[in-house]
Amino acid sequence: MTDIAPPPRPAVELTADTYPADSRYANDDLRPVPLAERRWTTYNFVALWIGMAHCIPSWTLASGLVALGMDWKQAVLTIALANVIVLVPMLLTGHAGPKYGIPFPVLARASFGVRGANLPAMVRAAVACCWFGIQTWIGGQGIFVLLGKLFGGWADAGRVGGYPWTLWLCFAVFWVLELAIIYRGMDTLRRFENWAAPFVLVGALVLLLWIANKAGGFGPLLHEPSKVGWGPDFWKVFFPGLMGMIGFWSTLSLNIPDFTRFGKGQKAQVIGQTLGLPTTMTVFALMSVLVTAGSEKVYGVAIWDPVALAGRTDNVFGLLFALVTVFVATISVNIAANVVSPAYDLANLAPKVINFRTGALITGVVGVLVMPWKLTSTPELYIFTWLGVVGGLLGTVAGILIADYWIVRRTVLHLSDLYVEGGRYWYTGGWNWRAVAAFAVGGVLAVGGSYSTLDAKGDKAGPFPVDGIVPFLKPLADYGWAVGLGASLLVYTALMAAGRRRV
């Protein structure tokens, strides 16, 4: 079942005469990127992560952990550790990008089969479409709030579907601009991220300096003791929190080849991601804590939402700067994290019908149809369902990809066979049942024990049974991402090894 071949060159490409362009499983967007077009540098990858990390949801991650009882030091530590952990599968799956120039759904064909790759691709695409809608709604709300400060009566407009029509207008304009940028292709995205990253970083620093000046220093929150200490109560919060923070970027740990396929080499993607992800997220979490501490000192209440905090100023220039910063930050992360992947994933579903641009448009439409304003209206649905369950399922897929590429194939792929029927990755009817079995086992173990806790009133706070969907799996639920990745990796490796022995 493994490919026995001499190690290929550090970077591999298919020449025009060997690339099966007439295959029903190929199109120009899924083809391996030619070596001459792999030009993303270390800075491009650093900028990509700065642009993606500096957004409203990641700013408020620390607040969620503090609300669970951690102090600011514990919250920042948890976020830092989570991003160091999730960096590992990102670097492992990202390796195939600079080497072969292929996107995530094509890489998945090696393990799931040429047709079977649609299973993980559609799981990833569904998650991304929902995230796209959520981020667009959050970005639209941010612009709505800030414009409301600039134009009196903005928030008092007539209501449609329970919201002011001006909010729907912000949502629609934001949606159109996002798709307009990505419709121009990946090189436009690279250029946008290059200037968006430093701009958003400056915006965050301006917010920090502004609140520090008003507060005369940072105080109350930084001296607030932990409500869970460092004993057993801490670990009960730490592990679910850690898995949730990992789940936040678990999506990118799968489809990072969609970006690294444009890398000039392994050094660019390894150094770029290592400098970009864990450091940026940790610094951003620290900044959010410092700014919130300052807001509590100035306004008497901790304001974790940067838009709400920026809205407290009456300075027109300050409001405009905050408006542009929120605008650029949200577009930056949403396009890179939630449009690129489903665009490729949907193209993989029907390459001769759907290209990258069509896939991006479908993503935009689905992102509206899922009604993101309802997904974010209930914190329990957003937190428990999204970060926990999604992280578990995506960790399961990551385990299979890593096992296949690194353990089974030792990074050796035969590119032309990834695009044709009857090749070494066709398996049975285009599906590798061993990958599907590993996905099923890992998925059940990762999310089968998902449960809801009780709130202060004794009511169920979440969509799952208190005892877990499958009660005896409940102890595993807090470690969903790790359980899914580890279980699927072991099961897939064992099944592939068993198949080799029978041949």
pLDDT band at 6 (very low <50, low <70, confident <90, very high): very low
Q: What's the pTM value of the predicted model, to 2 decimals? A: 0.83
Q: Give the residue-averaged pLDDT of 416-437.
A: 94
Which of 22-36, 171-185, 341-355, 456-470 is the least confident region? Answer: 456-470
Predicted pLDDT of residue 502: 46
- Residue 92 in this model has a pLDDT that exceeds 90: yes
Q: How far apart (Å, rounded) are the C-alpha atoms in residues 262 and 388?
A: 31
Q: Give the residue-averaged pLDDT of 117-122.
A: 92
- Residue 113 in this model has a pLDDT that exceeds 50: yes
Using CA atoms, how far residue 231 sits from 69, 82, 223, 237, 379, in Å, is 12, 20, 19, 11, 27
Report percent pLDDT > 90 for the chain: 24
Q: How far apart (Å, rounded) are the C-alpha atoms in residues 314 and 150?
A: 9
User: Which helix (DSSP H) or strand (DSSP E) does residue 164 occupy?
Assistant: strand 163-164
Q: Give the residue-averaged pLDDT of 70-89.
A: 87
DSSP 462: S
Predicted pLDDT of residue 220: 66
Which of 143-152, 262-271, 385-394 is the least confident region? Answer: 385-394
175-179, 237-241, 336-340, 494-498: range with highest mean pLDDT: 494-498
pLDDT band at 1 (very low <50, low <70, confident <90, very high): very low
Cβ neighbours around 41 below 10 Å, total = 18
458: left (phi over 0), alpha (psi -120 to 50) or beta: left
CB contact at 8 A, 270 and 29: no
Helix residue ranges per DSSP H, 372-451: 372-375, 379-380, 391-402, 433-447
For residue 162, what are its two tokens? 């329970």
Q: Give the residue-averaged pLDDT of 217-223.
A: 70
